[in-house]
Structure 1
Amino acid sequence: MARVPLQRQADLPDDYQHLLSEDAMGELHLLCAMANNPDILQSYMRYGTTLWTEGGLEPADLERCILTVARALDAPYEWHQHVPIARDAGVSDDELRAIAEGDFEPFDDRQQALLRYVDAVVRGDVDDDRFERLSQYLPPETIVGVTLLATHYLATARFLDALDIAPEEPFIGWELEGE
């Protein structure tokens, strides 16, 4: 059970109700918990949107990165939320299972460099070799976007864990066994 109340759209001041509307992302537990502080919720959503749209990654790579963060942190909420989004972006179930196992070998060289870098960011273990390998494939502005994306989802996972926020539905499972 969540450690803070899960606010509903109707609970918010009129100026903030749009943040939990179906036109936004709806009443996801993550957002409903953040809605206890509507100003922060709004800033969180704007920042996340900026990372998605201006970070320099295509949707499938963006989702592979988010799922790599989720798996590295054993963050079921984020994994559960992003598996369907990843599929819609073209990520295959074989790729999902590989990420779940921490196995980046099935990916091409560019994707391996990207996912290994994201994994290292989350673990606080970025070294020169990993950075240089990613630099062979991505320009500095995209590396900045990838790094901020990884740390954004790291913070999100820690927020969910600290406040004991569960997925809205039964967990899909790391190996997609809950479908």
Structure 2
Amino acid sequence: MARLPYLNPEDLAEADRPLLKRMITLHRCLVNSPGAARAFSGLGQYIRYGMKLDPRLRELAILQVGWLARSPYEWSHHVKIGHDFGVTDEDVTALIAETDGKPNGLEPLAKLVLKGAREVYAGGMSAGTFAELQQHFDNEAMVDLTVTAAFYCAVVRTLASLAIDVEPEYQPYLDKFPFPA
């Protein structure tokens, strides 16, 4: 159960109601601070719709952070969102295997993106991994990948700290790809 109330549009000032155009529990809790919700949403929208980084690779990086954090909300939402941007069930299974150092079918660039996301999650991407990624991405994509992984590190910590509930419609994604016991 969330530590703060889930608000509805009628609970907000008229100018803040558009913050709840998606009535997901994360947004319904964040609007307890409309300014924070607006800032949070701005970067999230850029990551999803504005950056030039390949959307499948972006979603794999986000999923890597969600998996490492064992964040039910992030994991379930981005398995679904990932599907919308080209992530397959096979990719999700391979990500889990890659995280455990097991053989999998991901292509080398996807494995490298996951390695970079794991390093950002652990505190910062190493110079070696950064240099390897620069062989594939221009400066803009390097910033976009780094900001994506770092932002989702903040997202999973926000979700955990506010104890945001997973909506029932996302539970099937947790059931299909559960965290280890």
Q: What TM-score do the two structures reach when normalised by structure 1?
A: 0.89
- Quick check: 1:134 aligned with 2:133? yes
Letter in 2 for 1:172: Y
CA contact (8 A) 1:55 1:144 kept: no
Mapping 1:8-157, distance limit 5 Å:
8-21=8-21, 26-101=22-97, 102=99, 105-157=104-156
In 2: Cα distance, 1:171 partner to 1:159 partner: 23
**Per-residue deviation at 1:73?**
1.1
Counterpart of 1:161 in structure 2 is: 160
- Gapped regions of structure 1 (runs ≥ 5): none
- Residues 79 and 174 of structure 1, relative CA distance in 2, 3 Å threshold: farther
Shift of 1:9: 1.7
Deviations 1:78-122 (A, max 9, x none): 111111111122211011112233257422122221111111101
Change (3 A) 1:71 1:132: same
- Percent identical residues: 28
Bigger helix share: 2
Q: Are the aligned partners of 2:25 and 2:166 in contact in 1 as well (CA < 8 Å)?
A: yes
Q: What is the count of residue pairs matched by the alignment?
A: 174
Unaligned runs of 5+ in 2: none
1:71 deviates by 0.6
Structure 2 distance, partners of 1:149, 1:11, is 31
**Is the 1:69–1:154 Cα contact (8 Å) retained in structure 2?**
yes
